[in-house]
A = this chain, B = another copy of it.
């Protein structure tokens, strides 16, 4: 098919899912005539009509709650939250209903909805447009949390999310929307729950997901110059988590850095670090380190580069992996 952007791949996934299953309906703010502010729903209204793709009143709790009701009627709603922070008004509906309805009813009701959330930064957006909110969802049992880093995954994971019997929070890294790759669509990649080694390496493992995967790959490339051969694992789905792939990699390499854009405290990266040290303790030559966003509100465009994990910061962390088997002096001093 040639060169495809992630935005186009997501659009194709929606289009194909709607063609294959007429229970699939797409709605949200500006998803109809406009095709979404990122054009992910472009052309769906024209192709499938108002019944299948429509604009709603401007109210996120309403959108998610409406999707719950529509799912109860047998449909398969895919809703768009316009930006990460604008999903917060829907938090109660997501945490108290979407995540729990199957459990509350012992499986009598399911909520096969997909909540698409364009997230994270790196696009020079003003405040409230760049939050990395995956940690909130990953901490909420009953939700699956998925985030593609590649064009084929964008297509395949979104198709799987729509077909999944459970609610999926589908986190789309905004800064990758217009990154393109050679890809032939439709494509089926590894299923939910499987991480993928994007680059094999022997010396240390970089665990990343979504917008941090390209950073990890770039860092691994740069690390070659420093004599480090780094493995990069792309999680793809945060929930369910692929312990097997991550653990196998770290046991092999003996060192691990976890990368995420979100503020670090009590986020997904903390979970990964906690799991890895728990499961790979005797293989580790150094503590599992984390490179994450700072523990501050997302900064204004002019300073976002200071906040975001970049190649240098990743390499700094790699350098601290006690290659000489000496403890990190920072923590000894404390």
| A contact residues vs B (CB 8 Å cutoff) | 61, 85, 88-89, 91-92, 95-96, 99-100, 103-104, 127-128, 131, 135-136, 138-142, 239, 241, 243-244, 247, 262-263, 265-271, 273-274, 277-282, 284, 286-290, 294-297, 327-328, 331, 334
Residues of B within 8 A of A89 (CB): 61, 91-92
Q: Chain B residues near A294 (CB, 8 Å)?
A: 141
Q: Which residue of B lies closest to A86 (CB)?
A: B92
- Given A96-B85, A277-B288, CB of A263 within 8 Å of CB of B141: yes
Q: Whose C-beta in chain B lies nearest to the C-beta of A136?
A: B136
Find chain B residues with CB under 8 A from A92 CB: 85, 88-89, 91
B277 touches A287 (CB 8 A): yes
A140-B263, A266-B271, A279-B287 known; 8 new pairs, CB 8 Å cut-off, are: A89-B92, A100-B297, A135-B139, A141-B265, A241-B265, A265-B271, A273-B274, A281-B328
> Taking the nearest CB of chain B, how far is it from the CB of A121, in angstroms?
14
- Which residues of the partner chain B approach A239 to less than 8 Å between Cβ atoms? 265
Q: Are B296 and A141 in contact (CB under 8 A)?
A: yes
Q: Chain B residues near A268: list those with CB within 8 A.
A: 266
Q: Is the CB of B243 within 8 A of A334?
A: yes
From B247, B270, B287, A334 is in contact (CB under 8 Å) with: B247
Contacting residues, chain B, for A277 (C-beta < 8 A): 273-274, 277, 287-288
Q: How far is the CA of A200 from the CA of B279 in the complex (A)?
A: 28
Q: B297 near A288 (CB under 8 angstroms)?
A: no
Chain B residues with CB under 8 Å of A141's CB are 263, 265, 294-297
Distance to closest chain B CB from A129 (angstroms): 11
Which among A85, A96, A131, A296 has the highest number of chain B CB atoms within 10 Å?
A: A96
A85-B91 Cα distance, complex, nearest whole Å: 10
The 3 closest A-B CB pairs, nearest first, are A88-B92, A91-B91, A273-B274
Contact of A274 among B135, B270, B327, B334 (CB under 8 A): B270
16 contacts between A and B (CB under 8 A): A88-B96, A100-B127, A103-B297, A139-B262, A141-B263, A141-B265, A241-B265, A266-B267, A270-B274, A273-B274, A273-B278, A274-B290, A278-B331, A279-B331, A281-B287, A281-B327
Q: Is the CB of A327 within 8 A of B282?
A: yes
> What's the nearest-Cβ distance from chain B to residue A272, in Å?
8
B139, A266: Cβ atoms closer than 8 Å: yes
Shortest Cβ distance from A326 into B: residue: B282
CA distance A91 to B85 in the complex (A): 10
> Cβ of B266 and Cβ of A135 under 8 Å apart?
yes
Chain B contacts for A138, CB-based, 8 A: 265-266
Which B residue sits closest to A282, measured CB to CB?
A: B327
A241 to B269, CA, bound (A): 17
* Nearest-CB residue, chain B, relative to A274: B273
Contact, CB under 8 Å: B247 / A297: no
What residues of chain B lie closer than 8 Å to A95, measured between beta carbons?
85, 88, 131
